Amino acid sequence: MSDLICLAFKELDTADHFLNELRALQKEYVLELEDACVVVRDGDGKIHLKQSVNLVAIGASQGASRGMLVGTLIGLLFMNPLAGMLAGGLVGAGSGALQGKLADYGIDDNFIKSLSGTIEPNSSAIFLLVRKAVEDKVMPRLSHYQATILKTSLSDEQEERLKAALSQAA
């Protein structure tokens, strides 16, 4: 089961730097993220979401490959597999992109938007679904970020350790 962690930062670009640090930890195999979303609230109060998983691109590429395969097979029936492959690829890419646009993976977008309304203008936040983490390796690397915990699904003990690690920056 994954743990939800939502953190707010005082600067606009800190959440992006935090996510880059987490990705570096993933490459070291001490952290496994299921989903991540960076939220930036500009000076006008407008909220911008940056999803880490681009479902539209994934859906379009998968749909295109499936469509090309099916189109080629149908094209073989009509003695024109190239035209079938091209038509199938176009239809598959379009339908896959639409499917990706309508899908919601990981953290619910409505939850992200509602909780993002609580952060200050000219600040950022990060929403994480952490599948697993080696705490004694992860916490020291994140201790130089000053963050406020918005919400977690961690146990009280784990949340206190996270607070202690993030308060070291202060």
User: What DSSP string describes the chain?
Assistant: --EEEEEEESSSSHHHHHHHHHHHHHHTTSEEEEEEEEEEE-TT--EEEEESS-HHHHHHHHHHHHHHHHHHHHHHHTT-HHHHHHHHHHHHHHHHHHHHHH---SS-HHHHHHHHTTSPTTEEEEEEEEEEE-HHHHHHHHTT---EEEEE-S-HHHHHHHHHHHHTT-
Domains and CATH numbers, the chain: 3-52+108-167 (3.40.1520), 55-102 (no CATH)
Asked whether the whole model's pTM tops 0.85, one would answer no
pLDDT tens by residue, the chain, 170 residues? 678 999 999 999 999 999 999 999 999 999 988 888 999 999 888 988 887 655 455 556 676 677 777 777 777 777 777 777 777 777 777 776 666 555 555 677 788 888 888 899 999 999 998 888 888 888 888 888 888 888 888 888 888 888 888 777 55
